[in-house]
Each structure stands twice: as C-alpha cells, then as structure tokens.
Structure 1
Amino acid sequence: MYDDISYRKELNMEEKFIHLVFFWLKNPENKTDRTKFEDAINKLVETSKYAKNNHIGTPAATNRPVVDSSYTYCLKVTFNNIEEHDKYQIEPAHKLFIAEASKLWERVLIYDSEM
C-alpha cells in the first residue's frame, strides 16, 4: 500500500531522506549548556547547504508506554536523497556544530529513513 506511486505523489514529498537525531545532554538542567546547544544547533540548520526542512524539539508531553521521552533534544532534517545527506555529514556547518556541541552531550542516537 505505501509503496504505491500514487500514494507518494499524494504526499508531495520531495525530500526522500529523513535524518532523526536524538541528543541526551550531560547536564540537561543547566541553562547555560542548553543555550550553548540551542545556539549551535540553530546555527547548523540555518547555514547547512543541504538540509531542507528541519524541526528542533524537546520531548512532547505524551505519556504512553511506547513513547521514549528520555532525550533532551531531537533534530529532524530532510534531504532530497542520500547523496545530499552524505554531503551534509562532511560540510563545514555540520562539522562546526559537532565541534561546538559534542562536549555538551553524553549520548546521540540516529534514525535514518528513505523512501
């Protein structure tokens, strides 16, 4: 059903690759650390040449057994294809984000999905 071409056209999705990144900060209650992280991640999505749509968020107030809200921040970025994702991984904006923010997190978990 979901592999049907007409269904894909209905969605009108140009971005065929989704990159979801979950971050657990070392000190999630530290306002200075949160500000530094938010500044770095906002700079990333504003300056990336390859990331299309993006979403930066924190755990929603959902309370169900299947929901993991243990993370501090979530980043979703979309790309037209895997090649753009691969270029994003090595572009200066992404490398700068890692240099500025990696000292603030203790864990990162990534889910990539493509149509």
Structure 2
Amino acid sequence: MSTTNRRKFITTAATVAAGTVVASAMPSIIATKTMTNRYPIVHHALFWLKNPDSKEDRDKLVAGVKALGKIETIKELHVGIVASTEKRDVVDNSWGVSEVMFFADLEGQATYQNHPIHQEFIKKHSHLWEKVVVYDAIDA
C-alpha cells in the first residue's frame, strides 16, 4: 500500500469512527429532549433529615419515596442522595434525600398530591424529616 493510499485509508477510517461516535450520542440527546417535552411538569422535593447522620433513616426515606412511583400519574421518578461533587458556593448539599418527578400535566401533579399512596407516605415517613422544600416547574 502506498503512503498516499495509507493516509487516505487512515483519514477515512478516522472520519467514519468520529461519525459513529456522534451518531451513537444522538438518540440519548433526542430522548432527553423528548422526555422533557412529553412530561413538562417537574416536581422536585428536597428533604432534610432529623438525624442526618443516620443511614438507616435515610434509607427508609429513600424506600418510601421510591414507593411513590406506584402512583399512575408519575411518569418518571428519580430518587437521590447528596453526591460527593466539587464544593462550590452555588452548591447546596445540606439536604439528605431528593425526589424529582415528571408529570404529563398539572392535573396529574394534583392527583399525586391527593393520592392515598402519597398521603400514606407522609403519615409513615414525616417523622424522618426536619424540613422539606419543593420546587415545581413547567416547561418554558
């Protein structure tokens, strides 16, 4: 193989590889945009535990929040705990458990608020938290 043909082959192979990487990333980018458009109502709650050093209390609350996913109007649910990310002035890591829920519409979010599973969650788990802050948003 001549030097010119080898360079053309390497250039073509590199271009194809780069295109494959970009193309493989596209479905996740499209899926994220689709999810946001499909579920425009976001309910984000942050819980501060009464006993922030108790892994047992944290795990009970996490399990309780995950059980809320049985409510039919919740389209997506993410339950999290504080991540060990870079410490910056804009990062608040004083909370213990986080829930992010996506709803198709405001009626679905209202149904969640009054749903018996949600009411039972509050009754069974509210003793675990000291404070809850909720942020509700709709796509702009």
TM-score for the superposition, normalised by structure 1: 0.85
The answer to whether residue 90 in structure 2 is matched with residue 66 in structure 1 is: yes
Query: Mind listing any 5+ residue stretches in structure 1 that lack a counterpart?
Result: 1-9
* Equivalence for 1:75: 99
Displacement after TM superposition at 1:102 (Å): 0.5
Total equivalences in the alignment: 105
The answer to whether residue 33 in structure 2 is matched with residue 11 in structure 1 is: yes
Take 1:19 and 1:51, find their aligned partners in 2: how far apart are those partners? 10
Larger radius of gyration: 2
Choose from 111, 127, 130 the match for 1:87. Answer: 111
Take 2:58 and 2:92, find their aligned partners in 1: how far apart are those partners? 20
CA RMSD of aligned residues (A): 1.4
Displacement after TM superposition at 1:34 (Å): 2.1
SS state at 1:70 partner: coil
Query: Mind listing any 5+ residue stretches in structure 2 that lack a counterpart?
Result: 1-31
Q: Percent identity?
A: 35
Residues 35-69 of structure 1: CA distance to partner in whole angstroms, max 9, x if unpaired? 32122112112x11111111111112221110111
The one-letter code of the counterpart of 1:23 is F
Take 1:27 and 1:16, find their aligned partners in 2: how far apart are those partners? 34
Choose from 81, 106, 122 the match for 1:98. Answer: 122
Which 4+ residue blocks in structure 1 deviate beyond 3 angstroms? none
Greater relative CO (CA pairs within 8 A, separation 6+): 1
